[in-house]
Amino acid sequence: MFPPTRIRSCLPVINPMFKQRLRPHRPFRQTATLHSQTKNAAAQYQRNKWMSLQAIITRWVPLGSVIYVGWCYIRASVNYEVSKVEIKFYEMFPFRITSRIWGHLAACELPTSLRNFVYGTYVRVFNVNIDDAAVTDLTYYKSLAAFFARPLRDGARCISAVPCVSPCDGVVLNCGPADTEKIEQVKGVTYSLEEFLGPNTWSKTMDKDYYNSLLTNKDNILHQCIIYLAPGDYHRFHSPCDWTASFRRHFSGKLLSVNPWMARLIPGLFTMNERAVYVGNWEHGFFSMTAVGATNVGSIEIYSDPLLRTNTKGRRNRVDEANLGQISIKKGELFGQFNMGSTIILLFEAPKDFKFEFTSGDRVQVGEALTQAAKAQAR
């Protein structure tokens, strides 16, 4: 045993050692470390939150779409020529998916208490003439889709007595002779006739030239009329003349916007988009009427063709065909409807002196006469 005196003499040395060894960690050091770790974890979470697949689909894609479409609008106002790379980039946006989602949302029934507010806002934003509707009470329409495809009241449109009239309400994008295989969709921007209509399998003509194979009388030429239906327009379309439909071809293409300023940017826009082509004959020979789909168009409905299904899942480049027999359609008869704004394209055979009354940019309504000569004759 150590004597007490020896132990006491060692205490000054031992005590500082124990104090140094048993000293607890300072609290502020531990707090600072935890705060730093929490800050790093929060920053990492924010990075993962904005770079996840969900964030890309729900945030970056819609934001990029809005910015890009706005930029396209600015460029269209200064006659900017869009590049092929930009067109491909624009085509990559999931417009078919968003259009199907919009179609489902538009078909949902709204509470009666909200209908006046929702439809009233739509009427003011898009300048809808609700007085032409068969029912002016906004609470009558159960969904946005029902309001878009609202019928007209009796007497709202007069069908002219001339042979060919406007099939819908809208703005004329282009009209005039189509005497070559390349046709103007707007001034200076063209699309291919063969790509638009597809192979000529409905005619017995053996002419190798596609344009000539469409004509029944070689002294005639083709004429076209392109009418754009804005979101505020009447969305049903009618037969422009007395004709017989014998063949239908459905192209399940893209659903790009067909707004006039977009049509000026993208050549061949109408050959890319989903469309239902109806082919037949009228008094001068070949006649076709095409309903072209667009962004947010939930579907195209044709009353005499219940088997047609548009904007469905599947390959974008599939083509469906159907022989309709001989369906006789009278002028002014209801033909179909869009569940949002889109475009109607008429391509028909007529004499070379066939002149349109309207020019690009003019507004037309269902039943208005299309030609100057026809109007003079009607007087």
Q: Catalytic site residue 132?
A: no
| CB 254, CB 315: distance < 8 Å | no
The sign one gets for the Cα dihedral 109, 110, 116, 122 is negative
pTM, rounded to two decimals: 0.74
Lowest mean pLDDT, pick from 23-32, 87-96, 243-252, 366-375: 23-32
Name the least confident of 16-25, 128-137, 153-162, 328-337.
16-25
Distance of CA 329 to the CA centre of its chain: 28
Mean pLDDT across 332-352: 89
Respond yes or no: is residue 238 known to be catalytic: yes
pLDDT for res 376? 43
Distance, in Å, from the CA atom of 372 to the CA atom of 377, rounded to the nearest integer, reads: 9
Which residues are within 8 A (CB) of 173 and not within 5 positions of it... i.e. 6 or more apart?
185, 186, 226, 227, 228, 260, 263, 343, 360
C-alpha distance from residue 39 to each of 29, 35, 43 (Å)? 16, 6, 6
232: left (phi over 0), alpha (psi -120 to 50) or beta: alpha
- Between β-strands 182-186 and 170-178, what pairing exists: parallel, antiparallel or unpaired? unpaired
Q: What percent of the chain has pLDDT above 90?
A: 31
Cα distances (Å, whole numbers) of residue 287 to 190, 204, 275, 350: 20, 15, 16, 9
From the candidates 257, 288, 299, 342, give the one annotated as an active-site residue.
342
Task: Give me the mean pLDDT over the 16-32 stretch.
Answer: 51
Annotated active-site residue in 99, 169, 223, 233? 169
- Check pLDDT > 50 for residue 377: no
The token duo for 221 is 């030429």
Lowest mean pLDDT among 70-84, 199-213, 230-244, 289-303: 70-84
> Is the pLDDT score of 57 beyond 70?
no
Report for 121-125, 202-206, 207-211: range of highest mean pLDDT:
121-125
Q: Catalytic residue among 223, 235, 238, 250, which?
A: 238
Domain boundaries, the chain: 51-80, 170-378
Say whether pLDDT at 337 is over 80.
Answer: yes
By CB atoms closer than 10 A (0-12, 13-18, 19+), residue 110 is middle
**Whole-angstrom distance, CA of residue 361 vs CA of residue 31:** 70
pLDDT digits (tens, 9 = 90+) for 247-278: 999 998 888 777 777 777 777 888 888 899 99
DSSP three-state, residue 218: coil
Per the model's pLDDT, the better-predicted residue between 52 and 156 turns out to be 156
169 is catalytic: yes
Query: What number is the average pLDDT over the span 338-363?
Result: 87
pLDDT of 379: 44
* Stretch 133-160: mean pLDDT: 90
Residues 347, 290 contacting (CB under 8 angstroms): yes
In angstroms, rounded to a whole number, what is the distance separating the alpha carbons of residues 46 and 65?
Answer: 23
The pLDDT value recorded for residue 137 is 93
pLDDT score of 374:
43
